Amino acid sequence: MRILTKDEIFSTLKRLISSAEKEILITSPWIKSEILRQILPQNKNLKINVIIRASKLEDLLITDPDVFDILDKYPKANIYLNPDLHAKIVIIDENKAIVGSANLTKAGLLEDGNIETSVLIENKKEIKKLKHYFKEIKEKSLDIKNKIFGFIINSTNSREAEAVLLKKIPEQTYIKIPIDENAFYLGRISSIKNLNLGIFSSYENTVFKNLLTKVDQINQIFQSKNSLWESSAFLSYLFENRENIYIASIEILAEFNPKKVKEKESILKTPLEPPKSGTVITGFEEDIKNILKINHAGYEMSMPVEFGNLFNTNIPVFLDLEKITTMHMAVLGTTGSGKTTLIRRILEHLNFKNIKTYIFDIYGEYFANLQMNKEIIDHVVFDDVLFPITVEDLKELLKEEGINIQEKSSEEKRVLALFRSYLKPDINILAFKEKNLEDIILEAIDLTDVSGILKKELIEFLEILKRDFGEDSLNNQSKTIKKIHNSLSSSHKNIVIFNLSKITDLKSRINLSGIIMKEIFKTARETDLAQMVILEEAQNFAPEKGYGEIPSGVENISYLMARKIATEGRKFNLGLIAITQRPASISKFILSQLNTQAIFKLINKNDLEAVSVFFEFSKQDVYNLLPFLKPGTVFITGLAVPFGILAEIKLG
């Protein structure tokens, strides 16, 4: 150990720091950039940790913004703030250390400054102790480079807290609240309010002082071009003057411990203790990237699929497709809000190695808009077709034209027996494999009495169908069945799009979709391959009772099969995604089975009420945002994500 006099400190410090090979550790309440610039070496790979004082604004008016600019040029440099710092320590590579009274300022180190004394330490054992002490100081300090947003001032309970913010940040920002070296709470800023504490007499005895009395100092802070210095200065200012401040309400989503991932344990825990007042809240882009790849159970996603970015960030977000193929998903929102685009983004980022997807497309928009290799898509375009699959369907068509067959005469019995033998709600039994609808009706006409009324009515009925729906619609049944068989048996196509846009008869569209879903369900029971059914405008396939003209009972085979997939599909790796602009109009039973929900903008009162069940009390702020969401903004909650996520998808 050697005593350094005033005129020896600066030269010794400069010489030792210039010889650094790995690490420089500095505590100095005040630092001036002109001194720091002279003593730091050119080696930009050095690890540099600097702790400065930040108890009041004056501290950061002495430590100037250029100090932060200089350190920012060293990739491994970190700067910490401590309101109680008085120690002056410099440690170089665990080999040398200087401890004394001098700050790294002109007054502390140059000849015409203060009278200072320091000690040069070269004893490895003493330096080790000193380094341990440095670590203790650092742990009690704030890492200003780690995106400090503010600090906790009040914890209502283990799920809610309030924080004072050091900077204006948007609502719905995700933040990190450290617990220990590894674990932390994940929080979401649900609302922000601005308080001028000077106007509230109830705050007179608090630690907050008048902020607005020193406008010139506030202006001085925010005239800097260095954002880290601004944050540091503002933090110091708050220590000294707290009054007009931003208070954030925070929902604490979960407790996370990233180390548990390697141990194959759930990294998600329900928070049971509130965060401590005074705890720093920070941003954490790197941490949250990993968190967003776990599912609701807290384990790594089996099949992560990227679909967009976390709200107001460039951080990618993911869905666990395995939780959709087994537990299903609802996509809800007004026209133009981004529902179809979300599905497109999922498909465009999907690894199709172990999954096959079937899309029921009413408007014929998917194939052209999918930005992906079209060779893996089987685009099945159905021509307009009448597609009755039961005798009741045909009787309904006849009744619409004023023909009411009641099976009272032997003639009527013969005709309906023929229809029953040919029309079955199963693709493998349905006579359309070999006969078209016109063939069946002509065969029925041949069974009627030569001069009877029924013969005349059936002949007129056939002509009316040709006039109303086109002659092809009575002769496309066999071709339609063949297209279905080919698409379901194709093993080299990963996506099958059933384009229903040309089918004008509502019941025919329902029947066609229903028998296809029935075959998909049968296939799922016989294979280990994961499969997914996507229903666009799902209220047209599985409506709530009383929705428009579409039946919602046993006479609607698409409803029956959608319900069957929703309740039993998970046993066979068969998932269901139901997309609708009218959540109030889709079957509430089916909606309740869809365990992940993607909710876009909604404005209709009935639709908002229909989705309200997906928002727990702590998410009321997000629920209230639904009528105001911009297109492409979506709230996703449920089993396929770690927690409720507000995200943005790229439109277009």
> Smallest Cα–Cα separation from 234: which of 347, 123, 296, 144?
144
Assess contact for 393 and 423: CB atoms under 8 A: yes
At 440, list the tokens.
Answer: 């069946």
Q: What would the pLDDT profile of 359-385 be if each residue is shown by its tens digit? A: 999 999 889 888 888 888 999 999 999
Q: Is 435 helix (H, G, I), strand (E, B) or coil?
A: coil
Q: What is the pLDDT of residue 225?
A: 63
Q: Where are the domains of the chain?
A: 2-143, 148-208+243-291, 304-385+476-648, 391-469
Cα torsion for 620, 623, 625, 631, to the nearest 10°?
150
The single residue listed with the structure tokens 């998410």 is 619
Alpha-helical regions (H) of 3-43: 6-18, 33-39
What are the backbone angles phi and psi of residue 414, rounded to the nearest 5°? -65, -45
Q: What is the pLDDT of residue 541?
A: 92
What whole-number distance in Å separates Cα of residue 294 and Cα of residue 271?
Answer: 17
Assess contact for 334 and 582: CB atoms under 8 A: no
CATH architecture of 304-385+476-648: 3-Layer(aba) Sandwich (3.40)
What whole-number distance in Å separates Cα of residue 102 and Cα of residue 112?
Answer: 13
For residue 245, the cross-strand partners are 195
What whole-number distance in Å separates Cα of residue 335 and Cα of residue 131?
Answer: 62
Q: Is 624 helix (H, G, I), strand (E, B) or coil?
A: helix
Which residues have C-beta within 8 Å of that of residue 13, sequence separation ≥ 6?
A: 39, 90, 98, 109
Q: Which fold has domain 2-143?
A: Endonuclease; Chain A (3.30.870)
Q: What is the pLDDT of residue 213?
A: 41
Q: What is the pLDDT of residue 51?
A: 93
Q: Is 631 helix (H, G, I), strand (E, B) or coil?
A: coil
Q: What would the pLDDT profile of 205-247 be if each residue is shown by its tens digit? A: 333 333 334 445 545 555 566 666 766 666 666 555 555 578 8
Report DSSP state, residue 389: -
Q: What is the pLDDT of residue 197?
A: 47
Query: Which burial class, exposed, middle or buried, applies to 470 when counting CB atoms under 10 A from its CB (0-12, 13-18, 19+)?
Result: middle
3-state percent helix, strand, coil for the chain, nearest multiple of 5: 40, 25, 35
Q: What would the pLDDT profile of 588-646 be if each residue is shown by its tens digit? A: 999 999 999 999 999 999 999 999 988 876 688 888 989 999 999 999 999 999 888 89
Long-range contacts of 298-307, Cβ-Cβ distance < 8 Å, separation of 24 or more: 298/254, 298/266, 298/267, 298/268, 298/269, 298/642, 299/266, 299/267, 300/261, 303/351, 303/354, 303/355, 305/346, 305/349, 305/350, 305/351, 306/345, 306/349, 307/342, 307/345, 307/346, 307/349, 307/647, 307/649
Q: What is the pLDDT of residue 262?
A: 57
Query: Which residue ranges of the chain lie beneath pLDDT 50?
Result: 197-215, 218
